[in-house]
Amino acid sequence: MKIVTIDAAQTQFQARLAAIEAASAPLRIWRQGLPVADFARHAPAVVARPTR
């Protein structure tokens, strides 16, 4: 899990999202020494289609 400050997350938001998407590695954002948010790649839900 990559850990960054809130300032780094704000200034490099697009690059951070691209890294999460490419590597599927979560990101934890810290503010004043405390974790405030986790970002991870979204796993799409699997929906069963009815058969006819």
| Domain edges within the chain | 2-39
Instruction: Find the mean pLDDT for residues 31-46.
Output: 87
Question: What's the pLDDT at 28?
Answer: 93
Whether residue 52 has pLDDT greater than 90: no
The CATH architecture that domain 2-39 belongs to is 3-Layer(aba) Sandwich (3.40)
| pTM over cut 0.75 | no
Query: What does each C-alpha distance from 8 to 21, 26, 50 come to in angstroms?
Result: 18, 15, 46
Average pLDDT for the chain: 87
Task: List phi, psi (to 5°) of 24.
Answer: 55, 30
Whether 32 shows a pLDDT value over 80: the answer reads yes
Question: Sorting pLDDT into bands at 50, 70 and 90, what band is 1?
Answer: confident
